[in-house]
Structure 1
Amino acid sequence: MKRLFNRVNNLKLKKRLEESDEQRTTLSFYKYHQLEDPQAFRDQLYLQLSECEVLGRIYVAHEGINGQMSVPTEQFEAFKTTLYSIPWLDGARLNIAVEKEGKSFFKLTIKVREKIVADGLNDASFDVTKRGKHLRAPEVNALLDDPETIVVDMRNHYESEVGYFERAIRPDVETFRKALLLVEDLLKEDRDKNIVMYCTGGIRCEKASAYYLHKGFDNVFMVDGGIIEYAHQCEQQGLPNKFIGKNFVFDERIGERISEEVVAHCHQCGKICDNYKNCSNDACHVLFIQCEECAVKCQACCSKECADFSQLPAEEQENLKGTMEFNGARFGKGRYRALIKKNQQ
């Protein structure tokens, strides 16, 4: 019987990927579709994608599929053939990463979830198929040139901190669920204006646009394929790129550069920087922005406490884990501000 889950130690898998010189292509895709048996579909998909040596993270639910992955470049066409052999996925748009670095995932994980994106909505209360209009890059730019257009970032605060569209409303939230309600409240007096929404690859805006149309917003638009596809279209068509900074991605790369501007700051010293990383103390693992100088000073950790802890023998670290509290338990993603606050005191 073939295995339906990875059984190899994560550290070994990560080391194997880092040492490999194999060329891989990073991509994402999603599709809303009613699945009667998500678990059976998940198991079959795992077997099919394993044959193509796919690595990545995929969520399957009754409402469809949402996947981010990397594929050996030599097997990309075989992967497409496999994916498109599934009738309801035939022709699904594959959002190829803007940056060419393919070392984005080190194992294949496919999970069955209640929803492919946690939104907190009751889908039975509105028609999720009546979505906003998709905009190609030229249409996006034309609407953004209109000062009356409202631009909304449907991502979380730590995503928009390192990159965003010009003039965008950027909700200070940590979940899509909270963004939906906050944006609805912020725009309650602007229901008749043109509203352009965007996210990483388009999936969050698919649901959000249907929800806002249901709530009485008249002119709801979304960037077709999200930031990733917009950047590709601008490059291919020689169009002005109105996205500033980096696109946050949920894989080992953490971010891919869309424009040369750097709009964020190191969470430790305040220097201009947009390099997200997780604290190298695995007992903490808090996500924060750190410049190279602070990385050297703090040994790639978020604090001196974590740096000191990470230098202890492994056995001693294991014994102390339950007795110490680190920033990963105190702060949400991107919320940690260490030396900046101390320097202001």
Structure 2
Amino acid sequence: MQLYNKLSAIERAELLEQAGEDRLTLSFYQYAKIGNPELFRNHLFIAWNDMEVLGRIYVAHEGINAQLSVPAKRFEEFKNFLDGIYFLEGCRLNIAVEQDLKSFLKLKVKVRHKIVADGLNDETFDVTNKGVHVDAQTFNELLEDPNAVVVDMRNHYESEIGHFKGAVTPDVDTFRDSLDIIEEDLKDNKEDKKLVMYCTGGIRCEKASAYYKHKGFQQVYQLEGGIIEYTRQVKAQELENKFLGKNFVFDHRRGERISEDIISNCHQCGKPCDTHVNCANEACHLLFIQCEECAAKMESCCSTDCQEVIQLPYEEQKRLRSGQHNSNKIFKKGRSEKLKFKK
């Protein structure tokens, strides 16, 4: 019985190219009490591997958080499978604004302590006492409300390439960092101001809204379905789009175009650009913003040092990165001192 992915990203990409079939990129989450996350994880992997589903899924005692790529022809089968799980029946699926055949190249289902790394002790407050969910039209009205403070609950590298007009965009590396900063900044307005939050698909706001209500905020709102659902409703209802730029996504696309505005700059030359790339030096792999001209000049690297490394024989590169653990550097997302025009 296969319980783990056995194909490399390169092998999977080739198979997807050969198949040439349409796929749907989507995401969903659900807070629920899962008694045996490992058993549930295995159940999901077996079923989804058979359906040729790809993606990154986190399962924990508190629920599930999933970003997926599903063959279009098997979408109904996938949806019926979800509806057969009692706490996922009728679950909202956030369909990506822009589709890509290769948004995910592996199926990874992992058991985690939490489905979002929020750093909170859930035993200290009622996580079900959430804020008021609002649709796109109401959210647009709140953006214009002088008594409302609209806060982006995402990280700096996400809001750098796209955010709502007039929103507060905390300069943080992680979601957990933003929680205390926002509370401190708004501590004198817990009763008289409306705290309005948004994120990519809604999951970060679910926990944050309950946390802020616990901290004494009297009027707490959250954008239902996040930026993804907002975009869908704006198009369907022909509403004014108040989002500027791109919505950062955590797959190979790295971003969805929501408006034609380019609000960020290439981290190497400073020209308007909102294309995230990873440094071609695998020992670095830093995520940063790079324009086409700099990509050609720097051979898709973040620095001349990395550019020199990729000229070395592969075995030498492999030796240099042996034993290194770069994830903390990677997730600084453009704060590297190597980048002249970093935020």
TM-score range, shorter chain: over 0.9
Q: Which residue number in structure 2 is paired with residue 67 of structure 1?
A: 66
> CA separation of 1:166/1:12 partners in 2, compared to 1, >3 Å: closer, same or farther?
same
| Matched position secondary structure for 1:89 | coil
For residues 96-123 of structure 1, the C-alpha deviation after alignment (integer angstroms, 9 at most, x for no partner) is: 0011224210111000000000111111
Is the Cα contact below 8 Å between 1:286 and 1:328 reproduced in 2? no
1:278–1:18 distance in 2 versus 1, CA, 3 Å: farther
Q: Is the 8 A contact 1:144 1:151 kept in 2?
A: yes
1:250 aligns to what?
A: 250
Amino acid in the other structure paired with 2:215 = K
Aligned residue pairs total 341
> Does the aligned pair in 1 maintain the 2:270–2:341 contact within 8 Å?
no
Q: Residue 9 of structure 1: CA displacement?
A: 2.6
Matched to 1:92, the amino acid is C
Alignment of 1:296-315 (within 5 A): 296-315=296-315
Q: What is the deviation of 1:332?
A: 1.5
Q: In structure 2, what is the Cα distance between the partners aligned to 1:18 and 1:184? A: 48
Is 1:128–2:127 an aligned residue pair?
yes
Say which is worse superposed, 226-235 or 177-186, in terms of deviation.
Answer: 177-186
Contact 1:22 1:72 in 2 (8 A): yes
- With over 3 angstroms needed to count, the CA separation of the structure-2 counterparts of 1:293 and 1:182, relative to structure 1, is same
In the alignment, what sits opposite 2:280? 280
1:271 aligns with 2:282: no
Q: Matched residues, percent identical?
A: 56
Compared CA separation, residues 331 and 200, structure 1 to 2 (3 A): closer
Matches within 5 A, 1:1-345: 2-18=1-17, 20-192=19-191, 193-322=193-322, 329=329, 332-336=332-336, 338=338, 340=340
Deviates more, 1:95-104 or 1:254-263: 95-104
State the distance in 1 between where 2:120 and 2:190 align.
20
Residues of 2 paired with 1:203 and 1:114: CA distance? 16
**Partner AA of 2:168 in structure 1:** I
Given residue 198 of structure 1, which amino acid in structure 2 is its aligned partner? Y
The residue type paired with residue 2 of structure 2 is R
CA contact (8 A) 1:37 1:62 kept: yes
Confirm or deny: 8 A CA contact 1:137 1:230 kept in the other structure: yes
Give secondary structure in 1 for the equivalent of 2:232.
helix
Structure 2 gap segments, 5+ residues each: none
Q: Equivalents in 2 of 1:316, 1:329: separation in Å?
A: 22
8 Å contact kept, 1:284–1:306: yes
Contact 1:149/1:194 (CA < 8 Å) preserved in 2?
yes
The answer on whether the counterparts of 1:61 and 1:112 sit within 8 Å (CA) in structure 2 is: yes
Q: What letter matches 1:218 in structure 2?
A: Q
Counterparts of 1:327 and 1:55, CA distance in 2: 22
CA RMSD of aligned residues (A): 2.0
SS in 1 for 2:87: helix
**1:280, 1:18 → 2: CA distance?**
22
More displaced 10-residue stretch of structure 1: 171-180 or 332-341:
332-341
Segments of 4+ moved more than 6 angstroms: 323-328
Segment of structure 1 superposing worse, 312-321 or 291-300 = 312-321
Can you give the 5+ residue segments of structure 1 that lack an aligned partner in the other structure? none
Moved more, 11-20 or 306-315: 11-20
The one-letter amino acid of 2:151's match is V
Tell me how far apart the structure 1 counterparts of residues 112 and 78 of structure 2 sit (CA, whole Å). Answer: 24
